[in-house]
Amino acid sequence: MPNLFFRGLSHTSISLSLVLLSACSEAPAQPMSGDLTATTATQPSAAITPASDSAQTPQPALSFAEWRTLLRSDAIAAGISDSLFDRAFAGVTPNPDVIRLDSSQPEFTRPVWEYIEGAVSPARVKQGQRLLAQEREPLNRIEQRYKVNRETLVAIWGMESNFGGNIGSYNVVRSLATLAYEGRRQAFWRSQLLAVLQILQHGDTDPEHLVGSWAGAMGQTQFMPTTYNDHAVDFDGDGRRDVWRSSTDALASAAQYLNVSGWEMNQPWGFEVQLPGNFDYALADPDTRRTLSQWQALGIKAVNSTAASLSPESQATLLLPAGHKGPAFLLMNNFRSILRYNNSTSYALAIGLLSDSLQGTAGIQGKWPVGERQLGRHERIELQQLLTQKGFEPGKADGIIGANTRKAVRAFQQQQQQPADGYPSFELLQELRSL
């Protein structure tokens, strides 16, 4: 039966039992919330990104040399050779730039439409299409093996490292040692550092070529070390899982990760829709899943024929990335698989739209509210504090607009008989201030 909704439209982490020193102990990091705010800084990917928080950096109780000596004993006990440890740590000292980047939180972030515009630029689309043709043979084999669409893999490749052109230049051992010694979330970073030593022990690369982002994300698809150990693959058959120099290994490793994250081959990540007048915007909630036929019954219409072959019983959620004044999207299961790779809604939306553009699909038809003033970090914190004071529950006042904050905003909007889209606008902050 044809889909009437579209009628008429042409890780398991590495196992290391280590006793953490009390001077370096901290609760394990939590994953990032699916925020809608795109930052200008590069974030670690592959689902290992720790949550940003405003906690004070603990002062080390040991000197770096003392800390390294104890780490060396634990690493050797976990199977790392003493000679490898000494080679990896030769000349390593804490990097003050890494601590600065870890503790800094930008006051202002890019609006989602600017982030999307940069992510899906004509130049990136053109280069991605060229590489789809150039890498056709390995992509054919990767698709066959892992059942993940090539356009999505190339989109991730482009977003994470500009197709291998920018894999980072930080010494990963030095960065992670710095964070494990004196950064926030030291237990998390210590686990990543020990995972890096396992990578070196395995022989996939050497300390001299082990570079990445300031936070330890590595290679052309920016895997964190524990994710690498769980999901990186040697697909070109040279005996090494080389995500730094082998685009084939990097793309196959990303495909393996998406495969175990539930990717559905040849299914869309989602698609743009038009909403009817007087729509209940409170339904734009990630916890609200309905079938396509149910969304259709509410008056929602697809903008194009991208998902024309989908079953009316397919489940989807509604996303309003810029509130009710901006474009709307229905999100399918593959969107959640992308979120497993990098738990940022803006990132996942950019990957979806870039993969569509690589196939020649037209861009977003809806208009972004480009004239609206964006909240700075301190204003977002103030908004959360005001919501708490007025009896709503946005969670910790940390400036991160996650699910709890959006739910609290939605409840306040409903109380004020406003469109309950959960979007934290400047006008909403002004209204909270006036009450």
The predicted-structure confidence for 218-260, as pLDDT tens digits, reads as follows: 999 999 999 999 999 999 999 999 999 999 999 999 999 999 9
- Residue 134's contacts (CB-CB under 8 Å, 6 or more residues apart) are none
Angle in degrees, CA 162, 347, 315, rounded to 5: 130
Is 231 within a domain? no
- pLDDT tens string, the chain, 435 residues long: the values are 434 444 333 333 333 333 222 222 222 222 223 344 443 334 446 644 444 444 455 667 799 999 999 999 999 999 999 999 999 999 999 999 999 999 887 888 889 999 999 999 999 999 999 999 999 999 999 999 999 999 999 999 999 999 999 999 999 999 999 999 998 889 999 999 999 999 999 999 999 889 999 999 999 999 999 999 999 999 999 999 999 999 999 999 999 999 999 999 999 999 999 999 999 999 999 999 999 999 999 999 999 887 788 999 999 999 999 999 999 999 999 999 999 999 999 999 999 999 999 999 988 999 999 999 999 999 999 999 999 999 999 999 999 999 999 999 999 999 999 999 999 999 999 999 999
Per-residue model confidence as pLDDT tens digits over 26-62: 222 222 233 444 433 344 466 444 444 444 556 677 9
Question: According to the model, what pLDDT value does residue 307 have?
Answer: 76
Is 429 within a domain? yes
Is 384 within a domain? yes
The 3-class secondary structure across 202-237, one letter per residue, is HCCCCHHHCEECCCCCECCCCECHHHHHHHCCCCCC
Question: According to the model, what pLDDT value does residue 59 have?
Answer: 66
- Only one residue has tokens 């199977």, namely 79
Per-residue model confidence as pLDDT tens digits over 5-32: 443 333 333 333 332 222 222 222 222 2
Is 388 within a domain? yes
Is 391 within a domain? yes
Question: According to the model, what pLDDT value does residue 208 have?
Answer: 86
Phi and psi at 21, nearest 5°, equal -65, 145
Instruction: Give the residue numbers spanning the domain of 381.
Output: 377-434
Question: According to the model, what pLDDT value does residue 252 have?
Answer: 98
- Residue 262's contacts (CB-CB under 8 Å, 6 or more residues apart) are 333, 336, 337, 340
Is 34 within a domain? no
The packing angle between helices 186-202 and 64-77, to 10°, is: 50
Phi and psi at 127, nearest 5°, equal -65, -40
Contact 109, 378 (CB under 8 A): no
Contact 189, 49 (CB under 8 A): no
Is 404 within a domain? yes
- Residue 30's contacts (CB-CB under 8 Å, 6 or more residues apart) are 50, 51
* Residue 380 Ramachandran class (φ > 0 left, ψ -120 to 50 alpha, else beta): alpha
Q: Which amino acid is at 375?
A: L
Q: How far are the Cα atoms of 8, 91, 128, 316, 404 from residue 287, in angstroms, in the given order?
A: 30, 50, 34, 10, 11
- Only one residue has tokens 């020193």, namely 21
Q: Could you give the CA distance from residue 296 to residue 157 in angstroms, rounded to a whole number?
A: 35
Contact 329, 300 (CB under 8 A): no
The total number of structural domains in the chain stands at 1
Provide Rg for the chain, Cα atoms: 23
Is 86 within a domain? no
The 3-class secondary structure across the chain, one letter per residue, is CCCHHHCCCCCCCCCCCCCCCHHHCCCCCCECCCECCECCCCCCCCCCCECCCCCCCCCCCCCHHHHHHHHHHHHHHCCCCHHHHHHHCCCCCCCHHHHHHHHCCCCCCECHHHHHHHHCCHHHHHHHHHHHHHCHHHHHHHHHHHCCCHHHHHHHHHHHHCCCCCCCCEEHHHHHHHHHHHCCCHHHHHHHHHHHHHHHHHCCCCHHHCEECCCCCECCCCECHHHHHHHCCCCCCCCCCCCCCCHHHHHHHHHHHHHHCCCCCCCCCEEEEECCCCCCHHHCCCCCCEEHHHHHHCCCEECCCCCCCCCCCCEEEEECEEEECCCEEEECHHHHHHHHHCCEHHHHHHHHHHHHHHCCCCCCCCCCCCCCCCCCHHHHHHHHHHHHHCCCCCCCCCCCCCHHHHHHHHHHHHHCCCCCCCCCCHHHHHHHHHC
Question: According to the model, what pLDDT value does residue 304 have?
Answer: 87
Question: According to the model, what pLDDT value does residue 305 have?
Answer: 83
